[in-house]
């Protein structure tokens, strides 16, 4: 099958793919940058920003008012587009937030529970290199605002007026005109009067991801996201043209992206390959997409159950079900970042404007976590209250016994002193 853009692999050979989210070289460089920012503060951040040509108009920071002014300078139709997209993201995040509630249960002698507490300050990283991702700004900032975060900063190199306008619409406090590992370090250690953030979210290149890993010991992060991934599960009812378009939409992200086709119909393999060639001919991002196709594969399977098994092994970032009866396979699917059910549910609208978040786990980590959500911007803080010590005697007694079992006499004394007090 070497003549096809996607090489065929037998389903039994499919293994979980867990590439490193960043290279060893990126980690070494990021360590140098993070340490410099930690030790030298703003001077180091500005030095790197100037080195990489990231400052817009020589300015390191744009206030909320600057962002509001940018809205007046761009096409009103673009403003409307950003506002519509933000509204859908906000509606979905609001529904997620409404699913969370405080807990209050009775215990002997009192009560216990938890409170939902938003984080105070969030840093949202937005890539500004090959493709400035306005959509990523909306996805992260709107979600943080709905979660109740009071102060939300964006870091992105050379922000355009469209990016500044998106920040205003999403509810950002302001925008830092910096990127890379030093942008992450600025979030972690503070920069230009902005205090250190409580969490850092958003996708980025290998250096950004390495920096997130390095600061994660003292700052909460969302995930260590690697190159984009898409698995399309298709049958003979699927449109080869749409399959090819979906695969290329992810392939054009990055030469390291991983587009994969799982099909129940061998006959469409050659047709999809021809479609890929045809569509690549008119695609300005063809060199990137063609390189990414070499990372993926096509897997022909006999049953829906086997398709689900292979998909669960891969745990892809995006999972597109281009099937006649997609509802049959949904209960069998356990591991993925985002699920797109039916051929009309194009993954690309999930990337942009449908509502669910597009910051999703990669590299097989969909087995253990989900995409960015309001949950990333809150704390679930437990509490306990004893009002009647006599009624709580059973708790104190059990605590004494457990302390003795563990060999901690101070713990026992602290509990024992409250029995019948």
DSSP character string of 131-175: S--HHHHHHHHHHHHHHT-SEEEEE-SS--HHHHHHHHHHT-SEE
- pLDDT at residue 17, as a whole number: 61
Cα distance between residue 235 and residue 322, in whole Å? 7
Prediction pTM value: 0.92
Looking up tokens 């493709």 gives: 131
**pLDDT at residue 1, as a whole number:** 39
Q: For strands 220-221 and 229-234, give the pairing.
A: unpaired
Q: Which of 379, 27, 380, 381 is nearest to 215 (CA)?
A: 27
Q: Which two tokens mark 368?
A: 């253990």
Check: CB of residue 239 under 8 Å from CB of residue 279: no
pLDDT of residue 128: 84
Chain segment 267-323, per-residue pLDDT in tens: 999 999 999 999 999 999 999 999 999 999 999 999 999 999 999 999 999 999 999
Query: Does the annotation mark 325 as catalytic?
Result: no
Distance CA 267, CA 18 (A): 30
Q: In the chain, how long is the greatest CA-to-CA distance? A: 83
> Is residue 347 classed exposed, middle or buried when 0-12, 13-18 and 19+ CB atoms within 10 A define those classes?
buried
Q: What pLDDT is recorded for position 21?
A: 82
The parts of the chain modelled with pLDDT lower than 70 are: 1-3, 16-19, 130-131, 421
Find the catalytic residue in 182, 189, 253, 318. 318
Q: Which position among 54, 252, 275, 317 bears the catalytic label?
A: 317
Rg of the chain over CA atoms, in angstroms? 25
β-strand pairing of 174-176 with 151-155: parallel
The question of whether 253 is a catalytic residue gets the answer no
């Amino acid at each position: 099958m070497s003549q096809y853009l996607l090489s065929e692999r037998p389903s039994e050979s499919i293994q979980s793919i867990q590439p490193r989210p960043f290279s060893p070289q990126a980690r070494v460089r990021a360590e140098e940058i993070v340490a410099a920012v930690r030790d030298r503060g703003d001077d180091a951040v500005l030095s790197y920003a100037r080195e990489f040509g990231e400052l817009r108009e020589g300015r390191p920071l744009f206030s909320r008012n600057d962002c509001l002014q940018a809205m007046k300078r761009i096409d009103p139709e673009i403003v409307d587009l950003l506002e519509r997209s933000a509204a859908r993201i906000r509606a979905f995040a609001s529904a997620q937030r409404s699913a969370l509630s405080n807990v209050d249960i009775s215990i002997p002698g009192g009560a216990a529970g938890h409170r939902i507490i938003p984080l105070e300050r969030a840093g949202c990283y937005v890539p500004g290199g090959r493709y400035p991702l306005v959509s990523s700004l909306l996805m992260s900032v709107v979600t943080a605002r709905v979660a109740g975060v009071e102060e939300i900063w964006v870091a992105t190199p050379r922000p355009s007026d469209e990016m500044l306008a998106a920040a205003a619409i999403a509810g950002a406090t302001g925008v830092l005109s910096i990127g890379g590992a030093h942008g992450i370090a600025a979030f972690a250690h503070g920069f230009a009067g902005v205090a250190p953030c409580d969490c850092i979210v958003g996708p980025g290149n290998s250096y950004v991801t390495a920096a997130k890993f390095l600061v994660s010991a003292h700052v909460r992060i969302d995930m260590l996201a690697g190159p984009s991934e898409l698995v399309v599960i298709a049958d003979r009812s699927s449109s080869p043209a749409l399959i090819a378009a979906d695969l290329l939409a992810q392939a054009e992200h990055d030469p390291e992206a991983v587009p994969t086709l799982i099909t129940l119909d061998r006959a469409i393999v050659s047709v999809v390959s021809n479609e890929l060639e045809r569509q690549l001919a008119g695609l300005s991002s063809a060199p990137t997409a063609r390189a990414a196709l070499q990372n993926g594969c096509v897997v022909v399977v006999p049953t829906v159950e086997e398709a689900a098994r292979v998909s669960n092994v891969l745990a892809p970032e995006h999972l597109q079900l281009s099937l006649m009866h997609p509802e049959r396979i949904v209960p069998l699917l356990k591991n993925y970042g985002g699920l797109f059910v039916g051929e009309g549910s194009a993954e690309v609208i999930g990337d942009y404007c449908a509502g669910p978040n597009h910051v999703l786990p990669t590299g097989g980590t969909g087995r253990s976590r989900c995409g960015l959500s309001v949950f990333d911007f809150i704390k679930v803080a437990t509490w306990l209250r004893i009002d009647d010590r006599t009624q709580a005697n059973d708790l104190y007694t059990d605590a004494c016994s457990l302390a003795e079992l563990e060999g901690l006499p101070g713990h026992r004394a602290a509990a024992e002193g409250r029995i019948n007090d």
